[in-house]
Amino acid sequence: MKIKSRNVLRKTDEKALINDIVEAFGDASAFANRKLEHVLTDEWEFIFVDGEPHLFKIEGKIFPTVKGALKLNPTRRIVVVDPGAVKFLINGADVMGPGIVEADPEIAEGDLVIVVEKAHRKALAIGRALVKGIEMPGKKGKAIKSVHYVGDEVWKLEQK
């Protein structure tokens, strides 16, 4: 993945971004008083926070990357998986229903979600819900299509 352009956000853009984050996830304190940059790559559009990709744009909407979710600790759009699913998720696998122990009931089919592990509730992956949140735990087959996960090229992307 190659970086095509990189620009520091203006204060007005920064305020608008922080307001969007607060509205979507409840807290944006992890981004206050940090260097925020708009970064365009050949595949994605990112917001780098102090040189790391913490947010990315998918279908015109800002969503945290795994690193961003680790900093934000969001309380919405969370799907919790059991320890047995972790090794598959960090290799890019989609999330299967039997591995899900809990899901935000407000998740709608097609929503982006943050997949966390049960013990420490640390983010492992970002994915797209294939079913509603209330239907996820114990569902047979795929429940979430993986978009980005720990160890992939987005995870490894850093500003040079």
Confidence at residue 159, expressed as pLDDT on a 0 to 100 scale: 53
At 69-97, the pLDDT tens digits run 998 888 889 999 999 999 999 999 999 99
Average pLDDT over residues 50-67: 89
Number of domains in the chain: 2
Asked if residues 45 and 154 have their Cβ atoms less than 8 Å apart, the reply is no
At 93-127, the pLDDT tens digits run 999 999 999 999 999 999 999 999 999 999 999 99
Please identify, among 72, 90, 109, the residue that sits at the C-terminal boundary of a domain. Answer: 72
Q: Which domain holds residue 11?
A: 3-72
Same domain, 88 and 112: yes
Q: How many CA atoms lie within 13 A of 8 on its CB side?
A: 5
Residue 16 has pLDDT above 60, yes or no: yes
Same domain, 65 and 21: yes
**pTM listed for this prediction:** 0.90
